[in-house]
């Protein structure tokens, strides 16, 4: 009896299991996406992102108009240093280990911490020689402390004023009056240097 050869086919099924943590990407949990920065100070704010899977997130930050502000992100601490007045956007992105990305856009307004100028800058000859009067003003746009105003006449220091606190819209007038020899030039140029610190440094 002749035997017929038989072929046996074996079907092997491979099951590949791919890990999947969940469908959600990181999402911002900040209740307010408006930021106010004040020249020339550096200010900070803690940003908030949540990941539905509890992953550790990595962050990146960018500013739409770098001419207005420098931005940096260390962990969840956003740092902004104003460079010029204006409005721009800051975008923070958060990425989980699987590459899923969430983003938040913040509206940033940069304003000077104070405005300043001169009401009077003049010299005139009189009975006591040359009288010089310099009257400058400072208006706070934010809560300030430890304000120091140094007035100059033709580049030479002529007076110093110290003030402990200024609230927003508070105006301080600094007045310097001095006498010099009659031979002094009555043409003068006035300037001043203002330094202060922010009471609150959070954006």
Give ∠ CA 119-134-116 in degrees, rounded to 5.
50
CA–CA separation, 198 vs 203, rounded Å?
11
Of the CA atoms within 13 Å of residue 102, those in its CB half-sphere come to 21
Q: Give the pLDDT of residue 57.
A: 97
Q: How many CB atoms lie within 10 A of CB 114?
A: 22
Question: 75 and 47 in one domain?
Answer: yes
Q: What angle do CA 53, 56, 60 make, to 5 degrees?
A: 120
Residue 3, pLDDT > 60, answer no
- The CATH number that applies at residue 132 is 2.60.40.10
Evaluate if residue 181 carries a pLDDT over 80: yes
Q: Say yes or no: 191 and 126 in one domain.
A: yes
**Which residues constitute the domain of residue 155?**
114-198
pLDDT reported for residue 10:
36
Domain boundary among 76, 94, 112: 112
Q: How many domains does the chain have?
A: 2
Res. 7: pLDDT tops 60:
no
Is 181 among the domain residues? yes
Residue 76 domain flag: yes
The whole-chain average pLDDT of the chain stands at 89
- Is the pLDDT at 23 greater than 80, yes or no? no
Q: Which residue has the higher pLDDT, 159 or 67?
A: 67
Average pLDDT, stretch 14-36?
69
CATH number for the domain including 38?
Answer: 2.60.40.1080
% of residues, the chain, pLDDT over 70? 89
Query: Does residue 119 share a domain with residue 103?
Result: no
The pLDDT tens digits of the residues spanning 129-154 come to: 899 999 999 999 999 999 999 999 99
Pick from 48, 44, 105: nearest CA to 70: 44
105 φ/ψ angles, rounded to the nearest 5 degrees: -110, 130
pTM: predicted TM-score of the whole model, two decimal places: 0.82
H helices of 58-158, where?
Answer: none
């Amino acid at each position: 009896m002749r035997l017929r050869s038989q072929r046996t086919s074996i079907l092997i099924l491979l099951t590949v299991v791919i890990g999947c943590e969940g469908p959600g990407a990181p999402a911002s949990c900040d209740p307010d996406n408006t930021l106010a920065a004040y020249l020339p100070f550096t200010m900070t704010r803690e940003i908030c992102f949540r990941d539905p899977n509890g992953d550790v997130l990595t962050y990146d930050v960018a500013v739409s108009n770098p001419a207005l502000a420098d931005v940096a992100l260390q962990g969840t601490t956003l740092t902004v240093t104003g460079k010029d007045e204006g409005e721009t956007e800051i975008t923070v992105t958060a990425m989980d280990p699987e590459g899923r990305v969430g983003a938040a856009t913040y509206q940033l307004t940069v304003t000077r911490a104070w405005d300043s100028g001169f009401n009077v800058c003049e010299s005139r000859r009189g009975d006591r020689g040359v009288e010089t009067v310099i009257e400058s003003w400072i208006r706070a746009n934010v809560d300030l402390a430890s304000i120091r105003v140094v007035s100059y006449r033709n580049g030479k220091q002529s007076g110093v004023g110290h003030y402990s606190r200024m609230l927003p819209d508070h105006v301080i007038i600094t007045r310097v009056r001095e006498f010099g020899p009659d031979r002094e030039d009555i043409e003068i140029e006035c300037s001043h240097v203002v330094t202060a610190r922010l009471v609150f440094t959070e954006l």
